[in-house]
Amino acid sequence: MNNKKLLILGGYGNTGRLIARLLLQETNAELILAGRSITKAEDLVRQLNGDFEGNRVTGIHSDASDAESLKQAFHGVDLVLVASSTAIYAECVAVAALEVGIDYMDIQYSTEKTSLLKSMTSEIEKSGRCFITDGGFHPGLPAALVHYVAQHYDKLEKALVGSVIKVNWAGLSVTESTAYEFMSELADYESLVYKKGKWQKARFQGMLDFITMDFGRGFGRQYAVPMFLEEMRSIPETYPSLSETGFYVGGFNWFVDWLVFPLAAILLKLFPRRAAKPTTRLMSWGLKTFSKPPYGTLLRVESAGTKDGRPITKDVTLYHEDGYMFTAIPVVACLLQYLDGSIRKPGFWTQANIVEPNRLMDDMERMGVDVTSQGQ
Ligand SMILES: NC(=O)c1ccc[n+]([C@@H]2O[C@H](COP(=O)([O-])OP(=O)(O)OC[C@H]3O[C@@H](n4cnc5c(N)ncnc54)[C@H](OP(=O)(O)O)[C@@H]3O)[C@@H](O)[C@H]2O)c1
């Protein structure tokens, strides 16, 4: 059987290059690294073909805003993995994938992108393609963690998922388009929590409805605010006994959380174009200047319910010291299930809801994620 061929858009970016390495390590897939700089693509192609056997990597120029360049690049490919900061071009990429007849996966956090792809569900189904959105850490893992703990209960009553992302931003090079995409989404996300049987809007972008969670590992108890992720929408339908669930995102540092994001949210609403550059620069400066150790990325679920008529709890914490690795690992763990055909099916799915959670957890642990569970 021929090896599957995957094209990674943004294949030489911070996340894309780690995904490429892990795919070469974990699978026999052939890879095409794509982006707007063929020089950067080819530099990494040389490195990877030197590090892994079989000359399985090639590079290509492709621009997510240019339908023709995408269609040319997609010929002969099985799946495009969108690891570029190009959520605004999601329609262009998705339409090109459907026209050429290939599968699709992306890793961006963008409410607009996800609802646009959702609106294409019937075209995706008709064409028999498999589209997986919201891959990565968050989005990507919170709902999968709920599925993982739910197996321990007869009745799952509560499942709160929280994250901490503490990165040494001063040591990172992030492109302006990525920084802008990141800031605009974090300054204006939907803030919903599921309480008393319905999704409810949190107050003042969640800042008045924060929770605290003890993440351990030197991070201790941290505050986190509600952030709605599409993958969480179906959780209460899947587990009707749930009375409380939601995803809560931890802070970056006091300056960015309490000053930059609220200010950026207002300025971007009033002056979407003019405020883009200055607010992005202010956020980048705030992240680099005020982020302090310890660094690391964690995701934790705290759950409660009953089993055999007895109340029980189960808490699971996932940790990786490197936030980019912790984004790449779940993507590759999901692709392992896609590549062997066990989860590939026509339609539009989120990573967190299409994966088999036990294998996901085992594969992530093998690739370096630290998994700890506690329960009573
Ligand atoms: N789900 C999660 O947990 C998670 C976590 C981290 C990041 N992300 C998302 O992952 C994406 C990448 O983040 P990153 O930090 O890896 O970014 P990055 O290091 O800045 O890399 C971005 C990549 O996208 C490429 N790119 C940008 N515009 C393009 C275009 N028009 N056409 C083709 N390629 C283009 C860049 O190459 P050129 O500029 O040379 O074209 C580069 O290779 C972002 O959307 C980010 O929000 C998700």
**Spatial distance between the Cα atoms of 245 and 192, rounded to a whole number of angstroms:** 10
Length, in residues, of the chain: 376
Q: What is the Cβ-side half-sphere exposure of residue 137, based on CA atoms within 13 angstroms? A: 25
- CA angle 150–151–155, rounded 5-degree value: 60
Host H or E run for residue 122: helix 121-127
pLDDT digits (tens, 9 = 90+) for 116-125: 999 999 999 9
With contact defined as beta carbons under 8 Å apart, do 32 and 59 qualify?
yes
What is the distance, to the nearest Å, from the Cα of residue 39 to the centroid of all Cα atoms in its chain?
27
Give the β-pairing of 310-320 and 192-195.
unpaired
Q: Given the CA of residue 174, which atom of ligand 1 is nearest to it?
A: 20
DSSP 356: -
How many other CB atoms sit within 10 Å of the CB of residue 278? Answer: 12
CA of 313 to the centre of ligand 1 (A): 38
Burial 315-351 (b: 16+ CB within 10 A, else e): bbbbbbebbbbbbbbbbbbbbbbbbeeebbeeebbbb
Give the pLDDT score at 206: 64
**Spatial distance between the Cα atoms of 31 and 45, rounded to a whole number of angstroms:** 9
- Cα first-last separation, the chain: 48
Give the pLDDT score at 58: 98
Predicted model pTM: 0.94
Ligand 1 pocket: which of 14, 15, 39 to mutate (most atoms <8 Å of CB)? 15
The tokens for 212 are: 């605290």
Supply φ then ψ for residue 113, to 5 degrees. -60, -45
CA of 9 to the centre of ligand 1 (A): 8
The ranges of the chain with pLDDT < 50 are: none
The amino acid sitting at 202 is A
Query: Which residue is closest in CA terms to ligand 1's atom 47?
Result: 108
Ligand 1 pocket: which of 60, 145, 178 to mutate (most atoms <8 Å of CB)? 178
Give the CA distances from residue 137 to residues 237, 328, 368, in Å, rounded to whole numbers and listed in that order.
Answer: 23, 8, 14
Give the pLDDT score at 188: 67
Pocket lined around ligand 1, Cβ cut-off 6 Å: 9-10, 12-16, 35-37, 40, 62-65, 83-86, 107-109, 136-140, 174-175, 177-178, 181-182, 327
Give the pLDDT score at 204: 63
Give the pLDDT score at 276: 84
Q: What is the largest CA-CA distance in the chain?
A: 62
With contact defined as beta carbons under 8 Å apart, do 214 and 221 qualify?
yes
Q: Pick from 54, 44, 39, 50: which is nearest to 5 by CA?
A: 54
CA of 106 to the centre of ligand 1 (A): 10
Burial 61-80 (b: 16+ CB within 10 A, else e): bbbbebbebbeebbeebbbb
Residue 285's SS3 state is: helix
Give the CA distances from residue 296 to residues 62, 115, 136, 366, in Å, rounded to whole numbers and listed in that order.
Answer: 33, 31, 16, 18
CA of 280 to the centre of ligand 1 (A): 15
Taken in order of first residue, the domains within the chain and their CATH numbers are 5-137+324-367 (3.40.50.720), 142-323 (3.30.360.10)
Ligand 1 pocket: which of 84, 180, 299, 329 to mutate (most atoms <8 Å of CB)? 84
CA of 185 to the centre of ligand 1 (A): 14
Query: Which residue is closest in CA terms to ligand 1's atom 21?
Result: 13
Query: Which residue is closest in CA terms to ligand 1's atom 24?
Result: 84
Give the pLDDT score at 87: 94
